[in-house]
Amino acid sequence: MNWKEDYKRKVSKPEEAIRDIRDSQCVVMGHAAAAPRLIPQTLADHCEDYNDVLIFHMTTLGDNPCYQPRCYGHFRHVSNFLSANSREVVERREGDFFPAYFKDVPSMIGNDIPCDVAVFQTTPPNDEGYCSLGVSCDYAKAAIRAAKTVIVETNDKMPFTYGDDMIHVSQIDHIIPCSYPLQELILPAPGEVELAIGRHCASLVADGSTLQLGIGAIPDAVLQALADKNDLGIHSEMFSNGVMELMRKGVINGRRKTLHPGKAVVTFIMGTNELYDFVNENPNVEFYPVDYVNSPLVIAKNERMISINSCLEVDLQGQVASETIGMRQYSGIGGQVDFIRGASLAREGKAIIAMPSTAAGGTISRIKPFLTEGAAVSTSRNDVDYIVTEYGIARLKGRTLQHRAEDLIRIAHPDFRPALAEEYERRFHCTYTE
């Protein structure tokens, strides 16, 4: 059948498409800036028609209508990465969290994560009937392959991107043509603490390095501090506006990359409309599924691979907690460990954990004698490499427990160093000296 005829036959209204969702089924939805908008709203509007529908998703920006209290009991949510709008749902037991590396999610879909219905957002089809997954490739293709029913919102505001992120009209059951702006993520400018951290991180980055960064004030500060570097590359789970700025200046050009030279490789992005316009039909940015981008063996093919991630707290052994505050699930592991391990395998690779030295307005030290009771260890002491705060850099790899504790105390906030020194002296039976 001609794909255009197939397309016309499959065009649906949201109210029609959701009739293929049944009680007790699992619906896998896209995430981040590419999360579908019309189907979640339509489901929420008709929530009383459903019972015990499981919805799998990761980060969603803005309001998710299926999180509304009126939807409780009709939908349950499961995720392996929480954000501000989903923590309360889990804490109210209207959803749950499961620990998993982001790279493993595609292989889990259809197995550990049932997938009866897949709901994603794409571009309208091109001349050959292929739709681009746009700004979020990650686990979408795995879900579309596994699902019995595929519902796609073809948004003419979605950027058309390159890489391995195409699906064909023939793979879709319900097509919902639409036009709405993507959700933006606008971050505050880095403060003095973040800028100091950025300068320390930048000192570890050589010309020709390939970078993985997260999102937030610290990654933005790192990128600002890299403006005088040359021939940097990107192989990252995601990036935001700061990478775009350095690409425009030619600082990030991928010229010396050993894998995908000349290309910024990513699995999803979040940022402003300016960023979304930047990646639209940009041949220098390529999107690939997360089981490829986040594979440590793939990451390690990038020489001079530099992984920069953040965390919530570190103990004096070097154990890193990035996902939980005590027993409270705060976010998820994402690709932190995968990139740390990939960077450690790469020739001249480095893995950096960067964080402010304090939290809660300076009342809590992020460097602690022990992790908060109940906290999950995200990065083990065996994997940790560099820890960076605004007070300096601690290289933990290859260091003994005693030397690690000394180095970490030196980059802790001065207000908390005396208490950390007391624990050091109890633990190692010797006097701590600066």
Q: Which residues, other chains included, contact 48 with Cβ-Cβ below 8 Å and sequence gap of 6+? A: 74
Half-sphere exposure of 86 toward its Cβ, with a 13 Å CA cutoff? 26
**Cα radius of gyration rounded to whole Å, the chain:** 22
Bin 32: left if φ > 0, else alpha if -120 < ψ < 50, else beta. left
Burial of 83 (0-12, 13-18, 19+ CB in 10 A): middle
Q: Which residues, other chains included, contact 353 with Cβ-Cβ below 8 Å and sequence gap of 6+? A: 309, 310, 311, 314, 320, 379, 384, 385, 386, 387, 388
Marked catalytic residue, from 194, 237, 245, 313: 237
Question: What residue ranges in 180-261 does DSSP mark as E strands?
Answer: 210-213, 233-239
Residue 11 contacts residue 38 (beta carbons within 8 Å): no
237 is catalytic: yes
Tokens of 350: 């480095």
Which string of DSSP letters, residue by residue, matches 290-335?
HHHHT-HHHHTTSTTEEEEEE-SEEETT--EE-SEETTEE-S--TT
With both helix axes pointing from N to C terminus, report the angle between 217-225 and 241-249 in degrees, rounded to the nearest 10: 10
Q: Within a 10 A sphere around the Cβ of 295, how many other Cβ atoms?
A: 17
Which string of DSSP letters, residue by residue, matches 256-300?
T-SSSTT-EEEEEE---HHHHHHHTT-TTEEE--HHHHT-HHHHT
Q: Which residues are catalytic?
A: 237
